[in-house]
Amino acid sequence: MKKAACILCSAFVLIFASACKPKVDLETEKEAIKLVINAETQAWIDKNPEQMKKYYIQDAYQTRLNIQDSIFSIATGWDKRAPAIDTLAKYADWVGVDEFKVQKDFLVIKVKDKTAWAILRETQDMVYNGSPAKAESIINIMLEKQENDWKIACFVKSSI
């Protein structure tokens, strides 16, 4: 009888322990995702490719899609994305750009276990060669959580 009670008690402990998964604090995860997205943008503004790369998953599926009017470009694989980040940071032409500001309006962030996606509207305001200028985009970013850090898996930017 003691053996049966011990087995039954052990079964309840196992069931209880497996049902007690740590709850994800969605607001904390959403804020962490915003921090990653904003930090990646700041690294781009700072022309710091090594810092930018820290925010990306560096695998064969890493993807960037840019859409502008009816033209698009897509790059898949870290072997293509890493050199593109280096080139962008090296040759970004900030000559004539003053008072550069980026605003992000996060429209939707969904977190599911170790994956997430964010849709945001990005507005870049600046003075270009003495005249006010503005660029607006809708951005969709897919992220994966590796260890305790959110990383960008796919970045889709469409000018509007």
- Residue-level pLDDT, tens digit, the chain, 160 residues: 566 544 544 544 445 555 555 577 999 999 999 999 999 999 999 999 999 999 999 999 999 999 998 999 999 999 999 999 999 877 878 889 999 999 999 999 999 999 999 999 999 999 999 999 999 999 999 999 999 999 999 999 999 9
Which pLDDT does position 23 carry in this prediction?
Answer: 72
Does some domain include residue 136? Answer: yes
Torsion of CA 80, 86, 90, 93, to 10 degrees: 60
Tell me how long the chain is. 160
Which pLDDT does position 8 carry in this prediction?
Answer: 45
Which amino acid would we find at residue 52? M
Domain range for residue 138? 47-159
**Number of domain units in the chain:** 1
Which pLDDT does position 12 carry in this prediction?
Answer: 46
Does some domain include residue 37? Answer: no
Does some domain include residue 87? Answer: yes
Give the domain CATH number at 108.
3.10.450.50
Rounded Cα distance between 20 and 13, Å, is 11
Which pLDDT does position 92 carry in this prediction?
Answer: 79
Q: Quick check: pTM over 0.85?
A: no
